[in-house]
A and B are shown apart, each in its own frame.
Chain A
C-alpha cells in the first residue's frame, strides 16, 4: 500500500519539494542581508525604550525591498494549507471514484480501511511536513522582523502588527502544521461526501477559507481568558478625538503593550460609560494644552483587553492541538463513511 500511495502521490511530492527548494534558496539569499541590517540598526545592543530604533528598522525594510519579501513569505504561508487541502486532499478519493479505479482498489485483498489509511497517512504526513518545513524557514528568516515588531511602539502608541496579531499569527510557528493537516483531511472528507473532483475542491476551499476567517475573529480570542489593563486617561497617548454627533465624542487612545495582541481598547467615563459627553470647548478652538486640561478634568479611564506577548507559544500549541484533533475526528468520519458506503 505504501508503494501504491507513493506512486499516486509522486508528482505532488516532487512539486512540493521543488517549491520548498525555491523558497529556501530565496530566503537563504536574503536572510543574511536582513540580519546585517538588523545588527546595524542598534536594536541588539539597546537597553531600554528601543521603540524608535525598531520603527527606523521597519522603515528601512520598506525602502530596501525586504518588506516585500516578508509580505510574500507571509502570503505564501497563508495560502499553502488551502492549496494543500484543495490539490492534495480533495482529489485523493474523488480522482479514483471518477476514473473508476476505486473498484479495482477495493476488489483487492487489502481492506478498505487499510487502503484509506495508507493514502491518508502518506499524503497527510507529507502535507504536515511541507507546512512545517516552510514555517521553519519563514520563522527563521523573520526573526529580526519579529524582534523589531515586538518592540516597536508606533506613533499611535499601539503595538501595531506583531507576530501575535491575526495577520501574522498563522504564518509562523507550528500553527501552519495544524492548518495543513486540517485542510488536507477536510478535503478528503468533502471528497468522500461529494464524490466529484472539481466541486469537492471548491467546497474545500470555501470551507477552509471560512474557518480561517472565523477562527481568529470569534474563537482564538477566547482560547485563554484575556487580561485587562486599565489606567487613567493619558492625553499624551491620545490618538483620535472625534464626534459623530454634537453630544457625543469618541476618543481612541494608544496603548504601549509591545508584542501583545490587543483585543479591545476603549476610553470610557469614570463610571464605565461609553458616552463621553460633548467635545470640550477648548478642544474645538484653543491650544492643545487647554484641550488636555479639559480632557483630564473629565476623569476618563482607558480599559484594554489583550493577550500578553508571553502567551504566544501557548496559543500556538493550543491552536495546533485543536486543529489536529479536528483533523483526526474528520479522518475518523471518512474511515467510517468509506467502510459503510459504496462510493463508486
Chain B
C-alpha cells in the first residue's frame, strides 16, 4: 500500500519538492546578508531603548526599501498563506474523488486489503507529506525572518507604523510563523478529503474546500482566536502629561496615550478612550483642540477625566496561542479523517 500511495502521489511530491528547493535556495542565499545587515546596524550590541530603537528603525527601513528583501518578505507571506489552501485543494480533494470518478476504487476495494487499511495508508502518508511540507516551509521562513522579528519589539512606539504591523501576534504574522501552518495544512488536507467523499466529484470538491478553508481562515482571527484565553483589560489615566496625540474624525476620536500598557509584541484587541463612567469617549471636541496649540488641547482633554482602556493578549501568551490553535486544527483534521473512514465503510461498490 505504501508503494501504491507513493506511485499515485509521485507527481505532487516532485512538484512540491522542487518548489520548496527553489524557495530554500532563494532564502539561503539572502539570509546571511540579512543577518549581517542586522549586525551592521548595531542591533547585536545596542543597550537601552533609545539607541536600540534608532538602530531597529534604521534596519527595518533599509529592509523595506531594498527591493529584493521586501519582495522576499512578501513572498514568504504569500507562500505560507497559500500553501495550506493549495494542499487542501490539490492533494486533499482529488485523493478519493479521482478514484471514484475513474472507477478505480472498485478495483482497490476488491483486493485483499481492507478498505480501512487502504484509506489509512492514503490519508496517513499524504497527510504526513503535507505536514512535512508545511513544517519545512515554516521553519525556513521563521529562520530567514528572525532578524526582522527580533528588531520589531525594539522599535519606538510610533515609528512609521511598523510596530503594530510587525507584531508577531497580529493575525497575518500569527498564521505564517511558528507551528500554526502545520495545523492549517493538515486540516486543509483532511477538509479536502472529507469534501471529496461527501461530494464525490473532483471539481466541486476542490471549490468547496477552497471556499470553506478561506472562510475559516478569515473567521478564526476575528471571532474565535481572541477568546482562547480571556484577554487582559488594562486602564491608565489620560491626564495632561499622558496624552501624546489626538485625532478627530467626525464621531471618532482617537487619543494616543504616552504609556504603552500592553508592551511590545502584544495583540491589541481594542484600545479606546473612555469617560469616567466607562462609556467610550465620543466628544464633543474641546474648543481648545479646534484652533490653538497642542498644549491647550492636551490640557483641555486632561481635564475631562478620561482613561485609556486597552483590551489585549500579552506577548507572553504567544506560544500558548500557537499550541491551542494548532491543537484545534489538528483535532478538526482528525474528526474529518474519521468521517472519511466512516464513509468508506458504508459505501457500496455499485
Cβ of B250 within 8 Å of any chain A Cβ, yes or no, is: yes
Knowing A242-B41, A242-B62, A244-B40 touch, does A155 contact B252 (C-beta < 8 A)?
no
Cross-chain contact B206 with A87 (CB below 8 angstroms): yes
Contacts of A35-67 to chain B: CB distance below 8 A: 36-37, 39-41, 56-57, 59-60, 63-64
Question: What residues of A have a CB within 8 angstroms of the CB of B62 in the complex?
Answer: 240, 242, 250, 252
Cβ of B45 within 8 Å of any chain A Cβ, yes or no, is: no
Most buried by B among A15, A60, A72: A60
Question: What residues of B have a CB within 8 angstroms of the CB of A83 in the complex?
Answer: 210
Cross-chain contact A60 with B252 (CB below 8 angstroms): yes
Q: Is the interface of A mostly helix, strand, loop or mixed?
A: helix
Cβ of A237 within 8 Å of any chain B Cβ, yes or no, is: no
Closest chain A residue, CB of each to CB of B97: A198
Question: What residues of A have a CB within 8 angstroms of the CB of B210 in the complex?
Answer: 83
Cross-chain contact B252 with A63 (CB below 8 angstroms): yes
Over the window 186-200 of chain A, the binary record of Cβ atoms lying under 8 Å from chain B Cβ atoms (1 yes, 0 no) is 000000000001110
Cβ of B11 within 8 Å of any chain A Cβ, yes or no, is: yes
CB of A200 to closest CB in B, whole Å: 11
CB of A305 to closest CB in B, whole Å: 13
Contact of B252 among A15, A39, A64, A198 (CB under 8 A): A64
CB of A85 to closest CB in B, whole Å: 13
Cross-chain contact A72 with B254 (CB below 8 angstroms): no
Cβ of A95 within 8 Å of any chain B Cβ, yes or no, is: yes
Cβ of A245 within 8 Å of any chain B Cβ, yes or no, is: yes
Cβ of A151 within 8 Å of any chain B Cβ, yes or no, is: no
Report the count of interface residues on B (CB-CB < 8 A).
Answer: 32
Chain A interfacial positions (CB closer than 8 Å to B):
11, 15, 36-37, 39-41, 56-57, 59-60, 63-64, 72, 83, 87, 91, 95, 98, 154-156, 197-199, 201-202, 205, 217, 239-245, 250, 252, 265
Could you jot down 23 A-B contacts, CB within 8 Å?
A: A36-B250, A41-B249, A56-B249, A59-B247, A59-B249, A60-B252, A63-B252, A64-B252, A72-B218, A87-B206, A95-B203, A98-B101, A197-B202, A197-B203, A198-B94, A198-B202, A201-B90, A205-B86, A239-B61, A242-B41, A245-B40, A252-B65, A265-B65
* Beyond A36-B250, A39-B250, 6 additional pairs, beta carbon < 8 A: A37-B249, A37-B250, A56-B247, A59-B249, A87-B203, A199-B11
Chain B interfacial positions (CB closer than 8 Å to A):
11, 15, 37, 40-41, 57-59, 61-62, 65, 71, 86, 90, 94, 98, 101, 160, 202-204, 206-207, 210, 218, 247-252, 254
